[in-house]
């Protein structure tokens, strides 16, 4: 997938606000949480990888239920 659009992501998330919350949490997990990406990294930033995961249906709003390990 060359470019991720909001419309691609909204097929798997209820609304734009939830999309922001899910993408931010997943990007944080990838950047500092040591979580493994569910798609090929392809030299992208964590936010792009998170959005690609959401667009492909690999990451859902259940990520919001994960407990942060600080």
Q: Which residues contact 39 (CB under 8 A, 6 or more apart)?
A: 49, 52, 53, 56, 58
* Contact assessment for residue 35 and residue 49, using Cβ atoms and an 8 Å cutoff: no
- pLDDT tens, position by position, 11-69: 999 999 999 999 999 999 999 988 899 999 889 999 999 999 999 999 999 999 988 76
Give the global pTM. Answer: 0.89
Domain 6-65 falls in which CATH fold?
Eukaryotic RPB6 RNA polymerase subunit (3.90.940)
The per-residue pLDDT for 19 is: 97
């Amino acid at each position: 997938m060359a470019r991720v659009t909001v419309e691609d992501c909204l097929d798997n998330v209820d609304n734009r606000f939830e999309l922001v919350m899910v993408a931010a949490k997943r990007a944080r997990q990838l950047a500092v949480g040591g979580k493994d990406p569910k798609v090929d990294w392809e030299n992208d930033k964590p936010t792009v990888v998170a959005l690609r995961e959401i667009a492909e249906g690999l990451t859902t709003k259940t990520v919001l239920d994960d407990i942060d390990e600080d």
